Amino acid sequence: MTSSTTTGGLARFNAVEERAAHAALRELCTSTAWVGGLLARRPYATADELLAWSDAVTAGLTDADLAEALAGHPPIGRPAPGDPVSSREQRGMTDVPAELRAETLQLNLEYQERFGHVFLICATGLTGERMRDAVKERIGNTPEREREIARTELGRINRIRLARLVEEDAPV
């Protein structure tokens, strides 16, 4: 979402009591530093300003902050039960053949053993095959390289989720 003026959804986000804004942001990203960073800059004049600040805060997350954010994401192919956000984002895994699901879950386990955190990819719009292939491609990365890729993917996910949060008719 891009906007040069404050939309109804952004105006609501700016005006809502801090505890409610905190809870809404925490649903999007479990990094305490990210949530605190976004709350500290309210109110936002535009959605673009909010998204740009989210990018800046994400780029500045420490390794511990990034680990906290990654811990809040379910593995690809296993969205959190009762979580419509992760289910929507991982829609590409919904009707995949059992073999592809099993292979992806096995790769996820290998990835997690290698890097110590869940494989993170902005899954919105990706097929199950593309998600599996991404794990295969990235499992050979160094931990440092993979941490930066995960940070980039987290930023993409946060942008999509924030844009939905400040849509005209979205509740906060």
For the chain, the domain total comes to: 1
- Does 2 reside within a domain? no
Band of the pLDDT at 2, cuts 50, 70, 90? very low
Residue 3 lies in a domain: no
Q: Per residue in 12-29, pLDDT tens? A: 999 999 999 999 999 999
Residue 79 is classified by DSSP as: P
Q: Does residue 81 fall inside a structural domain?
A: yes
pLDDT of residue 77: 67
pLDDT tens-digit profile of 111-161? 999 999 999 999 888 899 999 999 999 999 999 999 999 999 999 999 999
DSSP single-letter state for residue 74:
P
Determine, yes or no, domain membership for 107. yes
Q: What's the predicted TM-score (pTM) here?
A: 0.87
| Domain, as residue range, for 40 | 8-165
Cβ of 84: how many Cβ atoms within 10 Å?
9
Residue at 1 is within a domain: no
**What is the model's pLDDT at position 1?**
41
CATH number of 40's domain: 1.10.3330.10
Question: Is 143 buried (19+), middle (13-18) or exposed (0-12) by CB count in 10 A?
Answer: exposed
- Tell me, yes or no, whether 39 lies in a domain: yes
- 58-106 pLDDT, tens digit per residue, is 999 999 999 999 999 887 766 666 666 666 666 677 778 989 989 999 9
In a domain, 136, yes or no: yes
CB under 8 Å to 127, separation ≥6 — which residues? 92
Compute the distance between CA of residue 5 and CA of residue 48 in angstroms, rounded to an integer. Answer: 9
pLDDT on residue 7: 65
- Residue entry with tokens 């939905």: 164
Residue 57 placed within a domain: yes
Dihedrals phi, psi of 10, to nearest 5 degrees: -70, -40
